Structure 1
Amino acid sequence: MNKLAPISMRTYLGSLLLFFCSIWGLCAQNSADCRSAIPVCADAPTFAAADGMGDIEDFDPALINQTGCLEKGSVSSDNIENNTSWYVFRAGTDGQIGFDIEALPASGNTVTAEWDFALYGPDVSCAEISDGSAQPIRCNYETNNTRFTGVGVNPENGQAGEPPLTQNQNTYDEWLQVRAGEVYYLLINNFNTNFNGDPEPYSLTFTGSSVDADQNNALDCTIRDEFLGLDITACEGDPDIVLSVSNSPAGPDIANITWSYDDNDDGNPVVVANGPTETEYTVSSPDSGRYFVVVENTAGQSYMDDILITFNGPPVFDRVEVLSELSDNNTVQVFVQGNGRYEYAVNGGELQDSPIFQDVPPGLNTVLINDKDGCGSVGPEQFLVVGYPKYFTPNGDGIHDFWNILGIETLEDPVVYIFDRYGKLLKQLDDITLGWDGTFNGRRLPSTDYWFRLEYTADLNGTPTPQVLQSHFSLRR
């Protein structure tokens, strides 16, 4: 809610630095898109201001309203995404990390914003954040009674963080234990005030025992060299991605900017934009590739960064191949047309990363293919596994009374020959035969093993090719 706050030394310094930001551009620019989150570390506070809605719909409202964190909360007029900023940081050491988000005066001595946050990680993608499959590990999205919010301990009143719970109105969540190399995304959002689009200032300061022990290395400050942001995986048809050099170390006095594009990421980029005013470059779907930028300032210093952007289309089901010989429990592999990260489920089971499934029964099965970056799914698609029962029991009870190849009707020109142990031909089957009933010339044959040979024609790369499979099964009486 709108609040009046006394001016502390920290607030005064924040206002002074915000003045420097506007005059000399010393502070991080706002990013309202998770995909272009601003890289930050712990060696100094970050002063910024956010205005307007997010560049894209960062969340699926149908899912987010059920997460227990990012729903509108107890105030029906509040917004999930208003005056939004995204940051990304990478742990430099193992240990305890927290942060303070302080609302600063927007004009005069008045604090007009109430900031809240959602923290995601470790090592999740913006696509997983957007579709709700990645849930916040820390968040505060309710009405606060202090201008501070964050993780750890509130510096204003000493309140220690608590486990995040829906609508508990905590101002702080409990400390985060990180491991070196882990990447986290932080959403900072003006929860319920200022709908006129005016910028709202705040500061972000990292805290915790790791920061106290080594402020320069607690978070990996080399992430700021990746000022274009981390590599992006998006979906075909997504909104444009705007790359910006506004957070490069070059500073505001730019002499020249050169953008290059390598569509195959094979080390052969071509220049696509050049000039001192080319501070942004827009990437549209489906232009996947690696993008490079070189920023030169008037002091003669050059700074370079690159980012790989991949636009994925929805998966397209290709085929399923049986990797094992004919059996009653088969190993199959699912093939997909597309270049995304996929996960698979057979016969309504759990999704898995591997396209190989074991113990797939013969006959009709289904497969579901899902793009892990939120670019769609296909299925359930049906596929038929040609198999055979290991045994049959021709005793007239209507269960397993006939033996035949399962899925034989899907084969081209199939013929099955059944032999006894001495190689005597007992029965010949085709795709319209019910099956073998365990007799020869009207005489019931004994319980033992029998052999078969399956001959059929397969289309291999457009060429009809004879195929032969042989194995055995048991007759039980």
Structure 2
Amino acid sequence: MRALFSAICCLFLVSIGANAQNSPDCRTAIPVCADAPILSTTDGSGDIDDFDPDVITQSGCLEKGSVSSANIENNTSWYVFRAGTDGQIGFDIEALPVSGTILTSELDFALYGPFDQTTGQNFCTIIGDGSAQPIRCNYEVNDTGFTGIGVNPIDGRLGAPFVKGSQNTYDEWLDVTAGEIYYLFINNYNTNFDGDAEPFALTFTGTSVDADQNTALDCTLRDEFLGLDIIACEGDPDIVLSALNSPAGPDIANVTWTLDRDDDGTIDEVLAAGPAETEFTVTSPNSGRYFVSIETTLATIITDDILITFYGVPELDEVRVIDDLVNSDQTDPYNIEIVPLGDGDYEYAINGGEFQDDPQFFDVPPGENTVIINDKNGCGITEALPFLVVGYPKFFTPNGDGVHDSWNVLGIETLTAPSVYIFDRYGKLLKQLDTGSVWDGTFNGRELPSSDYWFRLDYDRDDTGVVVARSVRRHFSLVR
């Protein structure tokens, strides 16, 4: 018969972080609707990577600009829209002249989705690191001043799947389902050198828009003018919240920004107030729900709020032992639970295996193991952190047959200054074991009866230079 074992863990850890790529501009994408053309500019300057430069250098759709050392972003704008009905959606992006006559911009786009807002997924992270690929995109030479999805209104050319060199600046119509979220990235590659903003018009098209432009896209999303809730990483670039994207437009008389740090319904601080406070900058790691109240020149009040959560690099707090025979496929279960510091969205892998969301692992082998913790928000991943599983027999049979005749803690020699104290059910000390010693089931030379006995294991753990006293108490059975 094989002995059943429980487990005791001591661990030694060092964590390292990875820079996050969760598309800073994407996080504050402007919510748009289909009820009127949107006039805007490509106002980025290529100084922030919206895409992981180690991953997306040449995706077959998006390309680097004309400066060979430039990243993939140059003079960009981000928009987000939500389908209001099932149907067909397209859009026209029209480059507008500068100073009334000169048309200098070369607009391209990439469309990402569909996303389900109810999942709580960090869409801008999976866009930024390449996990989510564009479903429509185009960077062909634009000789009509138009690009988009559907039909080019200048030459009537129907959109087709993107083929480099086709000189078709339009992609296929998009079939949407009500509630789906899409992110639209608009880029200007023609002015990589000067970084000047240039105007364009965005107009939605398609059979859904033709049927009712007020319902084709969910216009209530525009009321969330601060954008969808943001998950960011500690050390990320600042997040700029803007009241200028509100339905008030330029008709602003006064703006007040407030903060509920714990998102518990209590306003903790008035951050800024005044007619000129049309923007507020959130710096890492100031998590909380941010509110804005806008008083218009018509004495109406427009409000919105957004939850911004900053996560840090994951850290390992401890490895807990769980005695769970039900979930074990073996007779010697070593079942553990990984306990991280923080409340990020983590996944875990032990001993080089696959990642899983569940922090519990069953049938972990005794001895030294490793765990890796990854933050699925893109806020970092640990190195392989070693932890030690030390086992003890759940029972022993001191009957002289040479099998399980003695009891001791397995792996005790790997611990620092270990001592094992064995007690009966009434708390009487029967035996003290040190490294290398065992118990034969006797007390003062007298055989003790079959029963449950208890032990306490004391040992020290050297944790980054700080010695932490550890004590473990468990019970086992003597069987005669």
TM-score normalised to the size of structure 1? 0.75
- Matched residue, 2:27: 35
1:247 maps to which residue?
Answer: 245
Q: Which residue pairs with 2:94 in the alignment?
A: 102
CA contact (8 A) 2:67 2:192 kept: no
- Give the direction of change, closer, same or farther, for the CA distance of 1:407–1:119 in structure 2 (3 Å limit): farther
Counterpart mapping for 1:220-235 below 5 A: 220-235=218-233
- In the alignment, is residue 61 of structure 1 matched against residue 60 of structure 2? no
- Correspondence for 1:90 among 72, 78, 82: 82
Checking the alignment, whether the CA contact within 8 Å between 2:104 and 2:190 is kept in structure 1 is no
Q: Residue 278 of structure 2 aligns to which amino acid in structure 1?
A: T
CA distance in 2, matches of 1:79, 1:32: 14
Task: Tell me which amino acid in the other structure corresponds to 1:89.
Answer: F
Q: Secondary structure at the match of 2:54?
A: helix
In the TM superposition, 1:76-225 aligns within 5 A as: 76=68, 80-123=72-115, 124-164=122-162, 170-193=168-191, 195-225=193-223
**CA shift for structure 1 position 230:** 1.3
Look up the SS of the partner of 1:212 in the other structure: helix
User: What secondary structure is seen at the aligned counterpart in 1 of 2:126?
Assistant: helix
Distance 1:165 1:350 in 2: 36
Q: 1:435 to 1:305 in 2, by over 3 A?
A: same
Flag the 1:164–1:415 CA change in 2: closer, same or farther, 3 A: farther
Q: Does 1:468 align with 2:474?
A: yes
Contact 1:105–1:112 under 8 Å retained in 2 = yes
Superposed displacement of residue 337, structure 1:
0.7
- Asked if the contact 1:236–1:285 (Cα under 8 Å) also holds between the matched residues in 2, the reply is yes
Q: Deviations over 1:133-188 (max 9, x none)?
A: 33222222343444222223333333333334566654222333333222221110
Give the RMSD, CA atoms, in angstroms.
3.7
**Do residues 315 (structure 1) and 314 (structure 2) align?**
yes
Call closer, same or farther: CA 1:174–1:452 in 2, change over 3 Å. Answer: farther
1 CA distance for matches of 2:432 and 2:55?
A: 54
Asked if 1 retains the 8 angstrom alpha-carbon contact of 2:160 and 2:171, the reply is: yes
CA distance in 1, matches of 2:413, 2:31: 59
Residue 371 of structure 1: aligned partner:
375
Aligned residue type for 2:369: N
**Paired letter, 2:455:** E
Q: CA 1:345 to 1:198, structure 2 compared with 1: closer, same or farther past 3 Å? A: same
User: For structure 1, which runs of at least 5 residues remain unmatched after alignment?
Assistant: 1-30, 391-401, 418-427, 437-450
**Alpha-carbon spacing, 1:415–1:194, altered in 2? closer, same or farther (3 Å):** closer
Once the two structures are superposed, the pairs formed by residues 308-457 of structure 1 within 5 Å of their partners are 308-325=307-324, 328-387=332-391, 407-409=411-413, 412-414=418-420, 432-433=435-436, 455-457=455-457
1:377-416 CA distance string (max 9 Å, x none): 11211122334799xxxxxxxxxxx998654445643489
Partner of residue 256, structure 2: 258
Q: 1:54 to 1:341 in 2, by over 3 A?
A: farther
Percent of paired sites with the same residue: 64
From the superposition, tell whether residues 136 and 388 of structure 1 become closer, same or farther in structure 2 (CA, over 3 Å): farther
Instruction: Write the distance in 2 (CA, Å) between the matches of 1:346 and 1:176.
Output: 42
Deviation of the 1:369 alpha carbon: 0.9
Would you say 1:273 and 2:272 are equivalent positions? yes
Q: Is the Cα contact below 8 Å between 1:454 and 1:468 reproduced in 2?
A: yes
CA contact (8 A) 1:32 1:85 kept: no
- List per-residue Cα deviations over 1:264-283 (Å, max 9, x = no partner): 11222121211111111111
Q: Which residue of 1 aligns with 2:283?
A: 284
SS at 2:323's partner residue? coil
Instruction: Describe the shift of the 1:466–1:435 C-alpha distance in structure 2 as closer, same or farther (beyond 3 A).
Output: closer
3-state SS, counterpart of residue 120 of structure 1: strand
Map of 1:13 onto structure 2:
none
Higher relative contact order (CA 8 A, sep 6+): 2
Which deviates further from its counterpart, 98-107 or 292-301? Answer: 98-107
Counterpart of 2:301 in structure 1 is 302
C-alpha deviation, 1:37, in angstroms: 0.9
Count of residues in Structure 1 that have an aligned counterpart in Structure 2: 411
Structure 1: distance between partners of 2:47 and 2:68: 23
Distance 2:164 2:361 in 1: 40
Give the CA deviation at 1:292: 0.8
Cα distance in 2 for partners of 1:146, 1:263 equals 49
Question: Does the CA contact (< 8 Å) of 1:59 and 1:129 recur in 2?
Answer: yes
Which digits, 9 at most, give the CA deviation of each residue in 1:341-398, with x for residues without a partner? 22222222222222223343332221111112221111211122334799xxxxxxxx
217-226 vs 98-107, greater mean Cα deviation: 98-107
Deviation at 1:67, TM superposition (A): 3.0
The gaps in structure 2 that reach 5 residues or longer are 1-22, 116-121, 326-330, 395-405, 424-430, 440-450, 460-467
The Cα shift of 1:226 comes to: 0.9
Instruction: Return the offset for 1:249.
Output: 1.5
Q: Structure 1 residue 210: deviation in Å?
A: 2.7
8 Å Cα contact 1:74-1:167 kept in structure 2: no
Paired with 1:78 and 1:348, the residues of 2 have a C-alpha distance of: 36
CA contact 1:454–1:470 (8 Å) conserved in 2: yes
Partner of 1:444: none
- Quote how far apart the aligned CAs of 1:233 are: 1.4
The alignment partner of 2:114 has SS state of coil
8 A Cα contact 2:73 2:187, kept in partner:
yes
Q: 1:345 to 1:166 in 2, by over 3 A?
A: farther
Distance in 1 (CA, whole Å) between partners of 2:286 and 2:170 is 42
1:452 Cα deviation from its structure 2 partner:
10
- C-alpha separation between the residues in 2 aligned to 1:239 and 1:69? 26
Distance 1:464 1:86, change over 3 A: closer
Match for residue 44 of structure 1 among 18, 31, 36: 36
Per the TM alignment, residue 252 of structure 1 is displaced from its structure 2 partner at its CA by 1.8
| Residue identity opposite 1:193 in structure 2 | T
Q: Which 10-residue stretch deviates more, 111-120 or 178-187?
A: 178-187
Alignment CA distance shift 1:260-1:246 (3 Å): same
Residues in 1 aligned to 2:91 and 2:408: alpha-carbon distance in whole angstroms:
68
Shift of the 303–48 alpha-carbon distance from structure 1 to 2, 3 Å rule, reads: same
Q: Cα distance, 1:55 vs. partner?
A: 6.2
**Alpha-carbon distance change, 431 to 92 in structure 1, aligned in 2, over 3 angstroms:** farther
